[in-house]
Amino acid sequence: MAWNEPGGDNKDPWSGKGGDQGPPDLDEVVKKMQDKLGGLFGGKGGNGGNRSGGGPVGGPAGTKGIIGLVLLGLIVLLGFKSFYTIAPAERGVVLRFGAYHDVTQPGLNFLVPVVDDVIKVNVDRISTFPLKDTMLTRDENIVDIELTVQFRVQDPVEYLFQDREPDKTIRDATETALRETIGKSKLDFILTEGRGSIASDIKQRIQDLISFYKTGLVVTSVNTQPAKPPEPVKSAFDDAIKAREDKARQENQAEAYANDVVPRARGAAARVVAAAKAYKQQVIAEAEGETSRFLAVLREYEKAPEVTRQRLYLETIEQVMGSTNKVIMDVKAGNSLMYLPIDKLIEARPETSRSNTRAQTPSVSESVDTSRLDDGRSRRVR
């Protein structure tokens, strides 16, 4: 029976009691709702019998039960919609009434149903794109350049709201940075040792541009392929590269030869210097020895001049005559000069008697007697 049924007592259709009673019991309301739903789908009431005539199945009481069930389902659904999960590689950008509100971290998060919306952005995924083009170098040569750029999202808010097409922006920035870098470099530098530095310069210029435009992206790496000349002039470039390699080889050979010759020359120079120093020390030592010997003779001469003079004379004569094999005898009392060719006499004698002859032959080293003879002051050799 409806609450406002004419002639009724304003009884509560849910509790079966008058309207002047207190609020209905929640358990009883749920039980009656179950009975109503069972009767609606052809089941039995809560009393185990057929449905009593409290009103038709499609009456106001059944409609309210369906509405309550729908509301309950909506509440449960909204409860599930109020929570969401962010993966470890993602960040959640929360929009409240369509405007940016917050960035949520990985894990279970809460949002206001209907009011909030979440956009999940993967910040760990590495994106890659290639670029190949023909560039003009600083020395007005043409070269083919090919590279690959890898990037990822660093700031999800800037990535979503600051730039309309951040992926296109980074491609345009790459081409701009590449042309600028190649245009400031010479061909020889690009083809030989400049590959690594060129990639580093391109990466830095790309990052500066995309940071200026607030794309929210970060460049992780720039990999350049070896630069190649255009096909029509490839043979000439190959010849130039071969000539450059020959030059490098000749320089290496010259350096190796220098490394071999220079140490030898330095060793020879050191040896000559050492020999000169040794000769210097020898000459100095000999001079000092001669000086000491002269000073010793001088001291003896000061003590006994005549004896020292006679001894020096005899030593000098011995040194001079020791290298000759001729003997000349002079007798002061007479006018004749006697010459004895001892060398001829020695050669004329047999070999068997040479030893005896040599023993009997007067030696120059023998002392000369300067005493006077009785008959007339003559010299003889003893």
Domain residue limits, the chain: 1-81, 84-122, 127-228, 324-360
pLDDT at 233: 76
How high does pLDDT run on average in the chain? 77
Instruction: Flag the least confident range among 89-93, 130-134, 203-207, 223-227.
Output: 223-227
Q: How far is CA 287 from CA 70, 170, 278, 282, in A?
A: 131, 90, 14, 9
187 band by pLDDT with thresholds 50, 70 and 90: confident
pLDDT tens profile 304-329:
889 888 888 888 888 887 777 666 66
* CATH class belonging to 127-228: alpha beta
pLDDT surpassing 70 at residue 190: yes
Q: What is the mean pLDDT of residues 184-209?
A: 88
Kind plus residue range of the DSSP H or E element containing 143: strand 142-153
For the chain, what is the largest distance between any 2 Cα atoms, rounded to a whole number of angstroms? 209
**Cβ neighbours for 272, distance < 8 A, ≥ 6 positions apart:** none
Q: How far apart are CA 225 and CA 147, in angstroms?
A: 6
pLDDT at 341: 67
Between 239 and 50, the more confident residue is: 239
pLDDT at 27: 64
Structure tokens at 53: 């005539």
Q: How far is CA 23 from CA 19, 27, 214, 366, in A?
A: 9, 12, 61, 167
Between 236 and 221, the more confident residue is: 221
pLDDT surpassing 80 at residue 257: yes
Q: How far apart are CA 174 and CA 199, in angstroms?
A: 11
Quickly count: other Cβ atoms within 10 Å of residue 12's Cβ. 16
Q: What is the mean pLDDT of residues 370-378?
A: 38
300 band by pLDDT with thresholds 50, 70 and 90: confident
Q: How far is CA 243 from CA 32, 237, 239, 291, in A?
A: 101, 10, 6, 70
**Nearest CA to 364 among 347, 382, 345?**
382
Contact 2, 55 (CB under 8 A): yes
pLDDT at 116: 84
**Residue 111 burial (C-beta neighbours within 10 Å; 0-12, 13-18, 19+):** buried
60 band by pLDDT with thresholds 50, 70 and 90: low
Q: What is the mean pLDDT of residues 143-164?
A: 93
Q: How far apart are CA 229 and CA 144, in angstroms?
A: 6
111: phi then psi, degrees, rounded to nearest 5: -140, 160
Structure tokens at 28: 């009883």
Between 224 and 74, the more confident residue is: 224
334 band by pLDDT with thresholds 50, 70 and 90: low
pLDDT surpassing 50 at residue 368: no
**Nearest CA to 102 among 36, 158, 157, 52?**
157
pLDDT at 181: 92
Q: Assign residue 64 a region (left: φ > 0; alpha: ψ between -120 and 50; beta: otherwise).
A: alpha
- Tell me the whole-structure pTM to 2 decimals: 0.48
Instruction: Flag the least confident range among 14-18, 96-100, 180-184, 340-344.
Output: 14-18
Q: How far is CA 298 from CA 17, 286, 287, in A?
A: 163, 18, 16
Share of the chain above pLDDT 90, in %: 35
pLDDT at 126: 94
Between 39 and 148, the more confident residue is: 148
Strand ranges inside 71-141, DSSP E? 83-86, 90-96, 99-104, 107-110, 116-122, 127-136
Q: How far is CA 133 from CA 146, 225, 271, 325, in A?
A: 7, 12, 64, 105
